[in-house]
Amino acid sequence: MADVPEPLAASARVVVVGGGLAATALVGSLREGGFAGPVTVVEQGGPPHDRPPLTKSYLAGELAPEGLLLRPPQWWGEHDVDLRTASRVGTVARQPDGTFLVEVGADALTADRVVLATGGEPLLPPVPGVEHALTLRDRADADRLRDRLQRDHRLVVVGAGLVGSEVAATATRLGCRVTVVDPVVPLVDVLGTELAVWLHLLHREHGVSLVAERAGLIEPGRVHVPGAVLEADTVLVATGMRPVLPVTAVADAGAGSAALELGLDGTVTVDRYGRTSVPGLLAVGDCSSRGSGGRSAGHWESARLDGESVAAGLLGRTPPERGPSWFWTDRYGHHVEALGTLAAAEHVVTRGTLGQPPFSLFGLAGGTVVAAAGVDDPRAVKVARRLAVSGRPVAAEALADPGQDLRRLLR
């Protein structure tokens, strides 16, 4: 599946199932690339909106709902995109001529290409009583949680990953009494042990109680952990995500059905152009993976680049090569960016003093930058990204020298 696809015909019909960032980037790139054929986006929720602010500015009441929109409401009509919100896809069937029939409510849409962009949903741990907890994935979830976060509200967050930690930081700023329950320090593989521990302990510095245990039982008003019962007005479970797939097989006219190849975590296996094992059916974003092992990165930029890559394939073009995955997180007034996986580096160079922002870390392998992380130091990570993509050798001493203008390393 490595060959560049043939470009879509000008009259080809594209149906995108899902309306998140990957879908929005895909549709926008198609139109920017000159594709003028019919495009339909089927989204089971409301207008496509951004997710990172849900745990931060939106949860804090600092961002209005319209500020979450990925595109202004008029954009879809102006770009001749049929956006169908509050709609669900039923079956997807392939017809003898190779086109698809996509069931959307009482309608059957004909498509030359179908793109699954349905993202993921919260992965609930096997904890008795987990149904009493809230989760956070979309605006409706954030609204439910935001209505509760008043001063002295007791919030117990189960899971200290990005979502759980950002919610804990926002709730603390709103005056809530917050407890975070997680048996491990998150992000060690990505950030390295020292930085991951420093970031995790920021919770304690800002008055959050850290419980290094697993939740054993969730009851209304209580979370049971080994040796203790935690009182809670609200429990939020933030322990990961699982893919959402409206279909795992496509009915094939006269030939039974064609099953999608899935990864170990239930994602659809795709190539760099988003092509699945079923010709004409593509997948993009958090419901997909490039290989049988599962998603390589479930972050904002990864979804955007996925959408742009699939659009390139539909236009008959080769997408640019990607560098290491990149993400950011904001908490307690600090901005953290991470590139690649520091734990996989042969050598880690510290610029500044770890624990005293601003500072940054660079992971080297074979004399080139393969990973980086920065706290309140986005310029350093920006340079690291360019170095990683170029593969240019760099001296560790130059990276470590705070007096060195890192941009000179790009010349």
Q: What's the pTM?
A: 0.93
Both 247 and 117 in a single domain?
A: yes
Q: Is residue 326 part of a domain?
A: no
Measured CA to CA, the distance from residue 93 to residue 255 in angstroms comes to 11
Q: pLDDT for 333-350, tens place per residue?
A: 999 999 999 988 999 999
Q: Is residue 142 part of a domain?
A: yes
Determine the pLDDT at residue 292: 47
Measured CA to CA, the distance from residue 94 to residue 364 in angstroms comes to 48
Both 102 and 251 in a single domain?
A: yes
Q: Kindly state the helix (H) or strand (E) to which residue 377 belongs, with its residue range.
A: none
Both 350 and 396 in a single domain?
A: yes
Query: pLDDT-based confidence at 254, cuts 50/70/90?
Result: low
Q: Enter the DSSP assignment of 350.
A: E
Return the structure tokens found at 355.
Answer: 């624990």
Measured CA to CA, the distance from residue 68 to residue 205 in angstroms comes to 30
Domain count, the chain: 3
In contact, 8 and 98? CB cutoff 8 Å:
no
Both 110 and 190 in a single domain?
A: no
Determine the pLDDT at residue 5: 87
Determine the pLDDT at residue 119: 93
Query: pLDDT-based confidence at 290, cuts 50/70/90?
Result: confident
Measured CA to CA, the distance from residue 35 to residue 147 in angstroms comes to 43
Both 165 and 109 in a single domain?
A: no
Q: pLDDT for 171-193, tens place per residue?
A: 999 999 999 999 999 999 999 99
Residue of higher predicted confidence among 301 and 298? 301
Determine the pLDDT at residue 1: 44
pLDDT score of 130 more than 50: yes
Residue type, 377: D
pLDDT score of 24 more than 50: yes
Domain end point (choices 239, 270, 288): 239
Residue 329 bridge partners (DSSP): 336
Determine the pLDDT at residue 264: 87
In contact, 260 and 268? CB cutoff 8 Å:
yes
What range defines the domain where residue 400 resides?
333-410
Q: Is residue 321 part of a domain?
A: no
Q: Is residue 5 part of a domain?
A: no
Both 252 and 285 in a single domain?
A: yes
**Domain harbouring 65, CATH code:** 3.50.50.60
Query: pLDDT-based confidence at 298, cuts 50/70/90?
Result: low
The average confidence (pLDDT) of the chain is: 93
Q: What percent of the chain has pLDDT over 70?
A: 97
Q: Enter the DSSP assignment of 8.
A: P
Determine the pLDDT at residue 350: 97
Q: Enter the DSSP assignment of 399.
A: H
CA distances from 392 to 51, 178, 187, 398 (A): 34, 45, 27, 13
CA 165 remoteness from chain centre: 15
Both 104 and 55 in a single domain?
A: yes
Both 300 and 338 in a single domain?
A: no
In contact, 180 and 162? CB cutoff 8 Å:
no
pLDDT score of 116 more than 60: yes
Q: Is residue 328 part of a domain?
A: no
Determine the pLDDT at residue 321: 80
Both 114 and 258 in a single domain?
A: yes
Measured CA to CA, the distance from residue 274 to residue 31 in angstroms comes to 18
Both 47 and 139 in a single domain?
A: no
Determine the pLDDT at residue 43: 96
Q: Is residue 277 part of a domain?
A: yes
